[in-house]
Structure 1
Amino acid sequence: MNRRMVMSLLLVAALVMTTVLAGCGNKDSDKVKVRIGEVTRSLFYAPQYVAIEKGYFEEEGLDVELTTTPGGDKTMTALLSNAIDVALVGSETSIYVYQQGTDDPIINFAQLTQTDGTFLVAREAVETFDWNALKGSVFLGQRKGGMPQMAGEFALKKLGIDPQADLELIQNVDFANIPAAFASGTGDYVQLFEPTASIFEKEGKGHVVASFGAESGHLPYTVFMAKQSYINKNEKTVQAFTNAIHKAQLWVESNTAEAITDVVLPYFENVDRDILISSIDRYQKQGSFSVDPVIDEAEWNNLIDVITSAGELEKRTEHSELVNTTFAEKSIEAVK
């Protein structure tokens, strides 16, 4: 083989390689980027992490970027300022924005969790817990107007306990500092999410004695939402997003806590695997993970009752005003 032929073959090979690489680049660029802001990093959101790790978003042609935006106020600010495209946060935040007046409302389009995600943690373990034991105690609660606190108060009222009169209620501790405050001796009881509750049990700092999720009923506790203007301009993207979430929901529903833990482990590298399994098992047993993305009217009405009971609702906001179930319903038909 002469030198000219060798050079020709090398040139052809280079051109082929360039074409292949260009094709790969085009394939990646074809994916639509969606920026998600999650209100906190929590095992409560396991199906979202499953959707990412199992490649369901990629299958739907999406390239998602996940950012943790601690707190409902920060998450909603990020959404309103277009720093993110989709927010994963409590539906109450969309209602608060709507009540303030807006020509571009925040629309709830896919539900991820359907119960409160907090557990009642006591300093001492008890075999049989009686909610009346809370009366006269010091209770380290959550932020006023936030979903954990409102759902917790709603559950207590159903159980015949007046949170304002029967408890010494502490609500001046920032969300991120609540576990540390309890660990340092503040309060007799505290309301905690997983995996913090299980970590406290393992370390002997507290004991889970009851579930607020089991008492407050089904409601759109954590939901994917976006501006109406974004949805109007990106209907195919929102549908693809919802399809990916529903794929993850079906996978989570049909798998064990151990299997789910192995998928979401990269998001909780500093937490022991047995703690993650225990936490996910608790959420599965009380049915916290939504089995489909539909935000139905009964759940929405329960949410309105919770917010009204907390005195945070200026006027009733109907399901039809801030919920779009079209994408969720189509995902059920598309994903089997």
Structure 2
Amino acid sequence: MNRKRWSLALSLLLAAALTLTACGKGSKEEVTKVRIGEVTRSIFYAPEYVAIAKGFFKEQGLDIDLTTTSGGDKTMTTLLSGGIDVALVGSETSIYVQQQGSGDPVINFMQLTQTDGTFLVARKPQTGAFDWNSLKGKVFLGQRKGGMPQMAGEFTLKKHGIDPHKDLDLIQNVDFANIPTAFASGTGEYVQLFEPQATVIEKEGKGYVIASFGVESGKLPYTVFMAKKSFIDKNSGTIQKFSNAVQKAQNWVQTASVDEITDAIMSFFQDTDKEVVKGVVKRYKDQGSFSTDGMIDEQEWNNLQDVMESAGELKQRADYKVLVDNQFAEKAKEAVK
């Protein structure tokens, strides 16, 4: 009897030890903090918020610390200085870093949006089909020089035979955050706006969306998750888990309704009317702005550089194979269903 009791006690002790050992190992591996710096808070980035809100990052054992690092320059500076681990910003910023001769290149590893996210807004409603030539001679409130929105805008205008610096009265000295207010206050006859500002201006009756720069400029690696090569080399497992979570969110967004997506991301836009958020989600979803996967296509990469070249912002073309690493997106696309 004593022998049986001893055997039972020993078995229980061994089981407890194994459990504690397993928990000890898991506690070190289960939760990894990843600091993301997004260039702005935007409904355009809906899949990112879905991945957080639906717990897809958490499922991968990642604890996400999300901050908004307003502006591409600030976002990239924060990434390079080690203030964040991953940046969500336009791919052009990684090219600018390379042009400055960085010894630790910034690598694009997971695409989130695949078109420009801005719209052409007119002060007056249009009658009939919109003719781009009607912009000639008009006061146009544009985006910041060198930024992707302005470059995509200029690319579109040139495609329609308009030289933005000769054919328009172009205003580019208004800060990004103040552009909607400036237009609403009477500056400009036309303006290039992100959402939800374009929809808000429409709802207030102060402007009318008449064209999409996203549709006109074609597919681009417009907003991408990127990290320093040194970080990726040391944390490849974390980057893979991160990519898996984003892919799951991308899959979900593709099949979810506009209402479902809106409900999932509303906590990130508490100061925005729900109907506005819904309208913006529908607009971006309808025009295919949300990437279906994280793959950064070489043709789209070349289109991005065509846009930059046209704007005079590209010293020399950047090698796709040097600044893009699709291995994590490829594995996520295969593994996550």
Corresponding position of 1:253: 254
Corresponding position of 2:119: 119
Corresponding position of 2:103: 103
Distance 1:323 1:271 in 2: 35
In structure 2, the gaps of 5 or more residues are 1-15
Identity of aligned residues (%): 66
Superposition map of 1:160-309 within 5 A: 160-309=161-310
Distance 2:156 2:328 in 1: 31
Distance 2:155 2:298 in 1: 19
Offset of 1:30 from its aligned partner? 3.2
Offset of 1:27 from its aligned partner? 4.5
Corresponding position of 1:32: 32
Distance 1:236 1:213 in 2: 34
- Equivalent position amino acid for 2:67 in 1: T
Corresponding position of 1:13: none
Distance 2:114 2:30 in 1: 34
Distance 2:30 2:224 in 1: 27
Offset of 1:250 from its aligned partner? 0.6
Corresponding position of 1:141: 142
> SS at 2:198's partner residue?
helix
- Equivalent position amino acid for 1:116 in 2: D
For residues 14-49 of structure 1, the C-alpha deviation after alignment (integer angstroms, 9 at most, x for no partner) is: xx9xx99xx69x749830000000000000000000
For residues 237-258 of structure 1, the C-alpha deviation after alignment (integer angstroms, 9 at most, x for no partner) is: 0000011000000100101111
- Equivalent position amino acid for 1:46 in 2: A
Aligned length: 317
Query: Is residue 89 of structure 1 aligned with residue 96 of structure 2?
Result: no
Return the TM-score normalized by structure 2: 0.91
Offset of 1:132 from its aligned partner? 1.3
Moved over 6 A (4+): none
For residues 193-249 of structure 1, the C-alpha deviation after alignment (integer angstroms, 9 at most, x for no partner) is: 111111111111111011000000001000000000000000000000011000000
Offset of 1:133 from its aligned partner? 1.3
In structure 1, the gaps of 5 or more residues are 1-15
> SS at 1:291's partner residue?
coil
Distance 1:105 1:209 in 2: 39
> SS at 1:107's partner residue?
strand
- Equivalent position amino acid for 1:85 in 2: D
Query: Is residue 42 of structure 1 aligned with residue 79 of structure 2?
Result: no
- Equivalent position amino acid for 1:272 in 2: D
- RMSD, aligned CA: 1.7
Query: Is residue 76 of structure 1 aligned with residue 73 of structure 2?
Result: no
> SS at 2:220's partner residue?
coil
- Equivalent position amino acid for 1:206 in 2: G
Distance 2:119 2:28 in 1: 42
Superposition map of 1:141-160 within 5 A: 141-160=142-161
Distance 1:131 1:65 in 2: 43
> SS at 1:287's partner residue?
coil
Distance 2:29 2:175 in 1: 41
Return the TM-score normalized by structure 1: 0.92
Distance 1:285 1:29 in 2: 39
Distance 1:28 1:124 in 2: 59
> SS at 1:126's partner residue?
coil
Corresponding position of 2:55: 55
Offset of 1:147 from its aligned partner? 0.2
